[in-house]
Structure 1
């Protein structure tokens, strides 16, 4: 069994930016914590990208399924 978790839900601010994520075990983490966890290999299905302004963000691994995108996940 894998010790990696998957993101099941996201929380967005009024601008539509993801601020928090919920893992399949129900634990909630800020997007900043989730980025660190992804870099440490604790979250599967996502990777860390870097915007032109240097800010890091999470994005789903490419797989051709738009329903898998973080923006398409249910909110909490």
Structure 2
């Protein structure tokens, strides 16, 4: 995942998943919102696809952790 896509994903997790008004929103809606945000930010959808798996897992387990990019990870 590119740096831009990772920043978008981290921002979405920090700002949307923990927002009290969005507590009952379904996984599909979060994925749709994240994809729409990527398109709006002119980030190719392929770059955000890697974020969908972690997002679905986080939503399923309801555990959210925003981590800084790993400098040793070639995708960040």
Asked whether the two chains share a fold, i.e. TM above 0.5, the reply is no
TM-score (norm 1): 0.31
Greater share of helix: 2
TM-score (norm 2): 0.31
